DNA sequence: CGGCAATTTGACTATCCTCAACAGGGGTGG
DNA sequence: CCACCCCTGTTGAGGATAGTCAAATTGCCG
């Protein structure tokens, strides 16, 4: 029995395209690895030497200008795929935001395996197409939305992505939701193309307007999802 | 002999992965179509009914906010692939910027064909991964760069993409380059996340500083590529 | 030549950034 | 256990960049 049988993302990651024996072969060329917050798995500009599946945790994909400004260009969650198969250099770094566990492969090994398993390539293609769609939608936010719209869009997206983690009983307040963000204020700013001060001001504005509550630095309670969605533009 | 044999992008588009008989089969389910500037092939939000290869011309991929602000999220050139295979709705419209010729397929037919031809899916995967890289790089521009940096980056990218079209003899001015942009000022603004006025002011500033020349509305001569690259941030 | 749309220019404004000071809170060491 | 410290986040004041609104200009096409 391979370790994959116990993998929590077995049926959601690209591995879902493989049967038992194929999975064993893939398992043979991969290994799991833990990453601590702030630790990087891949650096911007280096040539692509490894790819991975996310098993647990949240990681950011980010690029920097020469003078140090950062833009987070993607955020990956369990079952997501990271890295750049089939040559080239990776255009962005990959860094853990939380404690994370990933299943890493040497890119060369993975490339060879993928070419022999079209069903895996198909899954990877579907995933990549979805990621491209999501990324392009984010460009509208970066290019055309105001700070208020960016913040609202961000909180709406986080609600969708983080799902029902720690949901309150939805009786008297059906759409009240509780989020624990995997981001610092600076990281939120780097996702939205804003400064940390602007993000902070938007948070306090939303709190003063009764749309959200901020019980702690990393937690947000959404009191009025409709108002938030309306502000998202 | 299928019409593909005469196709100018035969060896660059995803079709390059197919042999003669496979190509004939693909040809049987596709047809070429001409599009005039401003005409749309795909609309934002509709479910994905067709995909295509670009044979000639330039097209934009764009999304809009509800209140009409537009962001161009991609620009495609000959040999590029457009559309969203494998279900879903298209998140952006596709509109011709110039006279264009495309080779269109019903999405259902294309999906079925692709699943039976792993080499085609592989080519499509490589292309999609490259497009994702390019898109993410553009996010850094949208989120973190100033208007001046955006304009310079845009002109540098256009120089690379449009290649040697109409190059002057590079003797006395080795890096002087002539571009004919496929964009109006408004469209440049929609690519860069700026307003048309800001784009116009940046053009005149670059001209006054002797970095570029503007012989006509759609033409740019780059007089000092080094200065431009330096400004790109 | 006239009409129309695209672009440029100008004046003014708003949003967001910058710089700076302050507050909070979680952890450590006394 | 408490005090302190450091890091993160918040708040404030002022300024710069890019947006808005309006008018003038260009150049394209009949």
pLDDT per position as a tens digit, B176-192: 889 999 999 999 999 99
Tokens coding B225: 């590529």
Share of chain A above pLDDT 90, in %: 88
Quickly give B95 CA vs D20 C1' distance in Å: 28
What pLDDT, on a 0 to 100 scale, did the predictor assign at position A169? 47
What pLDDT, on a 0 to 100 scale, did the predictor assign at position A190? 98
Residue A143 contacts residue A63 (beta carbons within 8 Å): no
Quickly give A197 CA vs D11 C1' distance in Å: 9
Share of chain B above pLDDT 70, in %: 94
Q: Alpha-carbon distance B176 to B190, whole Å?
A: 27
Q: Alpha-carbon distance A41 to A43, whole Å?
A: 7
Of the pLDDT bands very low, low, confident and very high (cuts 50, 70, 90), residue A5 is confident
The H-or-E segment that residue B124 falls in is helix B118-144
Interface contact A84-B133, CB threshold 8 A: yes
Among candidates B85, B115, B139 on the partner chain, residue whose Cβ is nearest the Cβ of A73? B139
Interface contact B144-A193, CB threshold 8 A: yes
Burial class (CB in 10 A: 0-12, 13-18, 19+), A6: exposed
Of the pLDDT bands very low, low, confident and very high (cuts 50, 70, 90), residue A2 is low
Q: Alpha-carbon distance A210 to A224, whole Å?
A: 8
Interface contact A135-B135, CB threshold 8 A: yes
What pLDDT, on a 0 to 100 scale, did the predictor assign at position A88? 85
Closest by CA position to A202, among listed A157, A160, A151: A151
Q: Which residue of B has its CA nearest to A61?
A: B136
Range with lowest mean pLDDT among A4-8, A22-26, A120-124, A211-215 = A4-8
What pLDDT, on a 0 to 100 scale, did the predictor assign at position A166? 42
Q: Alpha-carbon distance B58 to B73, whole Å?
A: 14
Residue B168 has pLDDT above 50, yes or no: no
Q: If you average pLDDT over residues A161-177, what whole number do you get?
A: 59
Residue A1 has pLDDT above 80, yes or no: no
B133 and chain A in contact, CB less than 8 A: yes
Please, what are the domains in chain A?
3-141 (2.60.120.10), 146-232 (1.10.10.10)
Interface contact B193-A88, CB threshold 8 A: no
pLDDT for A85-127, tens place per residue? 998 899 999 999 999 999 999 999 999 999 999 999 999 999 9
Identify all chain A residues contacting B76, using CB atoms and an 8 Å cutoff.
none
Residue B63 contacts residue B45 (beta carbons within 8 Å): no
Interface contact A140-B66, CB threshold 8 A: no
Q: If you average pLDDT over residues B206-225, what whole number do you get?
A: 96
Q: Of B143, B144, B146, B229, which to mutate for an interface test with A (greatest number of A Cβ within 10 Å)?
A: B143
Burial class (CB in 10 A: 0-12, 13-18, 19+), B216: exposed
> Which positions in strand C are less than 7 Å from the protein's CB atoms?
6-11, 15-20, 26
In the numeric block, the tokens 């609309």 are attached to B43
pLDDT for B57-115, tens place per residue? 999 999 999 999 999 999 999 999 999 999 889 999 999 999 999 999 999 999 999 99
A86 and chain B in contact, CB less than 8 A: yes
Q: How far apart are the first and last CA of chain B?
A: 50
What pLDDT, on a 0 to 100 scale, did the predictor assign at position A87? 84
More confident residue, A13 or A1: A13
pLDDT for A14-70, tens place per residue? 999 999 999 999 999 999 999 999 999 999 999 999 999 999 999 999 999 999 999
B136 and chain A in contact, CB less than 8 A: yes
Q: Alpha-carbon distance B77 to B130, whole Å?
A: 14
Cβ < 7 Å from strand C, B residues 18-47: none
Q: Which residue of A has its CA nearest to B193?
A: A143
pLDDT for B137-158, tens place per residue? 999 999 999 999 999 999 999 9
pLDDT for B11-26, tens place per residue? 999 999 999 999 999 9
Of the pLDDT bands very low, low, confident and very high (cuts 50, 70, 90), residue A163 is confident
Mean pLDDT of chain B: 93
Q: Could you say which DSSP state residue B39 is in?
A: -
A115 and chain B in contact, CB less than 8 A: yes
Residue B2 has pLDDT above 80, yes or no: no
pTM over 0.85, yes/no: yes
Quickly give B148 CA vs D16 C1' distance in Å: 14
What secondary structure does DSSP assign to A128-182, as a single string? HHHHHHHHHHHHHHHHH--HHHHHHHHHHHHHHHHTTTTPPP-SSSTT-EEEE-S
Tokens coding B70: 């537009």
More confident residue, A171 or A42: A42
Q: Could you say which DSSP state residue B174 is in?
A: T
Chain A to chain B Cβ contacts (< 8 Å) = 117
Q: Where are the alpha helices (DSSP H) in chain A?
A: 20-29, 107-116, 118-144, 147-162, 185-192, 196-208, 225-231
CA distance A14 to chain B (A): 14
B99 and chain A in contact, CB less than 8 A: no
Residue B169 has pLDDT above 70, yes or no: no
């Amino acid at each position: 029995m391979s370790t994959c049988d116990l993998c929590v993302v077995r049926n959601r990651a690209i591995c879902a395209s493989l049967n038992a024996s194929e999975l064993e072969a893939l398992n043979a060329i991969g290994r799991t690895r833990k990453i601590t917050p702030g630790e990087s798995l891949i650096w911007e500009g280096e040539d692509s030497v490894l790819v991975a599946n996310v098993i647990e945790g949240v990681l950011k994909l980010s690029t920097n200008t020469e003078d140090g400004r950062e833009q987070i260009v993607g955020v990956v969650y369990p079952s997501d795929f990271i890295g750049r198969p089939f040559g080239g250099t990776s255009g962005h770094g990959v860094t853990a935001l939380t404690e994370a566990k990933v299943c890493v492969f040497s890119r060369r090994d993975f490339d060879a395996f993928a070419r022999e398993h079209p069903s895996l390539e198909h899954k990877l293609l579907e995933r990549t197409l979805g990621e491209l769609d999501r990324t392009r939608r984010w460009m509208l936010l970066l290019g055309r939305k105001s700070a208020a719209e960016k913040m609202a869009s961000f909180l709406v997206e986080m609600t969708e992505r983080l799902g029902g983690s720690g949901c309150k009983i939805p009786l008297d307040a059906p759409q009240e939701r509780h989020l624990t963000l995997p981001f610092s204020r600076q990281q939120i700013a780097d996702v939205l193309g804003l400064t940390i001060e602007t993000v902070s001001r938007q948070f306090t504005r939303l709190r003063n307007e009764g749309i959200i509550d901020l019980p702690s630095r990393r937690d947000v309670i959404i009191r009025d999802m409709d108002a938030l969605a309306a502000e998202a533009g």
